[in-house]
Amino acid sequence: MCKLEKFNYALFGNPIDHSQSPKIHDFFSIQTGILHIYKAINIPLGQFSLEVSNLFKKNVKGANVTAPFKKEAYFFSSKLTKRANIAQSVNTLKKVNDKCILGDNTDGIGLLSDLIRLKFIKKNFSILILGAGGAVKGVLLPLLSLGCSIYILNRTVSNAENLVKQFNTYGKIFVFEKKVFKKQNFDLVINAMSRNIKKKNFVPLSLISAKTFFYDMNYSTENTPFIDWCSRIGVDFVSNGIGMLVFQAAYSFLEWHNVFPETNYIINTLSRN
Ligand SMILES: NC(=O)c1ccc[n+]([C@@H]2O[C@H](COP(=O)([O-])OP(=O)(O)OC[C@H]3O[C@@H](n4cnc5c(N)ncnc54)[C@H](OP(=O)(O)O)[C@@H]3O)[C@@H](O)[C@H]2O)c1
């Protein structure tokens, strides 16, 4: 028998028009029989705390948080999971009671689950990450925990340096400079720059090989510029971030409802559209 939730769930972001999260959560809801309502809500910049506390005072029980509010959600949370505390970034909120909103970060476990599904990751890999924003903060801990060496290449070098300072007690993490990279090429390249950034060469070709895996955290019905570049240079192992999106949503769903939904069907459906 279906269980009807009297509470609502939401995505908070700005902008939120491109988001696939409502579709994914509607699918999880139907599949598990936990009939919650999930809506994307555009939060005006500078008003996160005020708007979100009002929504939690009404009937919102849980939420996903996307750019640019993951840092604000971290400060907004009254209690944090260990992984959100280390990341200092929150993408999942859960109302525990009237006095307590729990903040979690499921981006890292979401990415790792998808890399495992794709067979794109092994212990001790050398990984180049392009970008040093909120999403990268969320994914570093599980990758470092696998013993991977991580090199960050970012437009603003000081942002990459700050991430290295934040995470270097958890494993091998460096700002990318040719002289500190001792191996011949990377095992995995992850693009975590904002959507639609175009580059003639995202990575110098001397740093990759025919065996390198390429993962774009971005996703779109069309090819992203990074995936287009991968096609241009003719590499074999390439994926966009739709699987990460589905897995991070599934782990949020688990946090809210104690049920882990099936993910393959929705990944395949969204990949085809
Ligand atoms: N698949 C998923 O589930 C998932 C989850 C999370 C995020 N994402 C996607 O991942 C992307 C990054 O998210 P985020 O939250 O980390 O965003 P963010 O905090 O805004 O960070 C953006 C990053 O892109 C860089 N950047 C922006 N404009 C650039 C330019 N013109 N040239 C070079 N670099 C530029 C920034 O560099 P500076 O430091 O120099 O500003 C920063 O490193 C977004 O597109 C988001 O949709 C996907």
237 and 210 in contact (C-beta within 8 Å)?
Answer: no
User: Which is nearest to 110 in space by CA: 132, 81, 143?
Assistant: 143
The type of residue at 178 is: K
pLDDT averaged over every residue in the chain = 94
**Ligand 1 pocket mutation pick from 129, 193, 198, 203 by most atoms within 8 angstroms of CB:** 193
> By alpha-carbon position, which residue is closest to atom 6 of ligand 1?
135
Q: What CATH number labels 108-240?
A: 3.40.50.720
List 3, 57, 70, 95, catalytic entry: 70
Q: What is the pLDDT of residues 191-250, one digit of tens each?
A: 999 988 999 999 999 999 999 999 999 998 889 999 999 999 999 999 999 999 999 999
User: Which is nearest to 27 in space by CA: 236, 225, 245?
Assistant: 245
Q: Is 62 annotated as a binding residue?
A: no
Q: Is 241 annotated as a binding residue?
A: yes
C-alpha span between 239 and 234 (Å, rounded): 13
Element counts in the chain: helices (H) and strands (E): 10, 12
Q: For residue 70, indicate whether it is catalytic.
A: yes
| CATH fold of 3-105+244-272 | Rossmann fold (3.40.50)
How far is C-alpha 189 from the geometric centre of its chain's CA atoms?
15
Domain residue ranges of the chain, discontinuous segments joined by +:
3-105+244-272, 108-240
Q: How many residues are given for the chain?
A: 273
Q: Answer yes or no: is the C-beta of 159 below 6 A from any ligand 1 atom.
A: yes
Q: Answer yes or no: is the C-beta of 13 below 6 A from any ligand 1 atom.
A: no
In sequence order, what DSSP letters do the residues of 65-110 get, joined into one string?
E-TT-HHHHHHH-SEE-HHHHHHT--SEEEEEETTEEEEE--HHHH
Number of the ligand 1 atom closest to the C-alpha atom of 138: 6
189 and 214 in contact (C-beta within 8 Å)?
Answer: yes
Q: What is the pLDDT of residues 19-69, one digit of tens each?
A: 999 999 999 999 999 988 999 999 999 999 999 999 999 989 999 999 999
Q: Is 135 annotated as a binding residue?
A: yes
What's the pLDDT score for residue 1? 43
